[in-house]
Amino acid sequence: MQTQRLRIAIQKKGRLSKECQDLLKRCGVKFNMVGERLVVHAENMPIDLLLVRDDDIPGLIMDGVVDLGVIGENELEEVALERAARNEPNDYVKLRRLDFGGCRLSIAINKDDEYQGPQDLQGKRIATTYPQLVKRYMDQQGVKFSTCMLNGSVEVAPRAGLADAICDLVSTGATLEANGLKEAEVILRSKAVLIQCTRALSDEKQALINRLLTRMQGVIQAKE
């Protein structure tokens, strides 16, 4: 269902939402977040913001339901791999990397465990929310392992006896430290990115996207 208005999916609430809204505002998009609305209409441009869980954003783009989205590369790549494995549409266009949402996806082990390299993970059970990215990395390394899929509390899995290691997002490392873990391997360095669906858009929409991108370039450069 194509609409005249450009649809942009952004995280409703979480680590990406404030900076994402700030970026759009600095690019001149005027809007007012009120209540628990799913769709917010921009006041001065033909743009609708769709406020959703970040997990839903890659699929909305890959299914061509929305035109643009802002999402962490970690989530984007995990969903793309998952959809590829299921033979579902998994294409998107990365328009630009943004200057927020920086984190790394790392494998962490008990702080007293010996670690020389990926071979030391042989046969281990790794708790994670990112099974596809872990599998890609471990396959590249030629290391056999098993997973324990958790959508939350990944960092307590080793202590709880559910897994030998974890693979989770890290920014400062304080959470790992607090759980008696240490970072062993960084498997992905991630930032928020602006993505577009691959379906052809109207000339008007594409022109608006190009205008937004130009402004974004200026806004991001001005901050550097």
Interface ranges with ligand ATP (CB under 6 A): 11, 14-16, 53-55, 72, 74-75, 101, 103, 169, 171, 190
Residue partners of 119: CB distance under 8 A and separation at least 6? 141, 143
Q: Give least dist CB 189 to ligand ATP, A.
A: 11
Nearer to ligand ATP, 74 or 147 (CB): 74
82 contributes a contact to Zn ion by CB under 5 A: no
Binder of residue 190, out of Zn ion, ligand ATP, none (CB less than 5 to 8 A by kind): ligand ATP
| Nearest CA among 193, 121, 127 for reference residue 160 | 127
In the complex, the smallest distance separating the C-beta of residue 79 from Zn ion, rounded to whole angstroms, is 11
Count of beta carbons in the 10 Å neighbourhood of residue 43: 10
- Other beta carbons within 10 Å of 168: 24
Q: How far apart are CA 19 and CA 33, in angstroms?
A: 14
**Min. distance of Cβ 53 from ligand ATP in angstroms?**
4
Q: Which does 15 bind (CB under 5 to 8 A by kind): ligand ATP, Zn ion, none?
A: ligand ATP
Q: Token pair 């082990």 is at which residue?
A: 109
Q: Which is nearer to ligand ATP, 15 or 215 (CB)?
A: 15
Binding residues for Zn ion, how many (CB under 5 A)? Answer: 2
- Nearer to ligand ATP among residue 45 and residue 126 (C-beta): 126
CA distance 189 to 158: 23
Structure tokens that stand for 62 in this block? 């890959």
Count of other CB atoms within 10 angstroms of residue 14: 12
55 binds Zn ion (CB under 5 A): yes
Site for Zn ion, rule CB under 5 A: 54-55
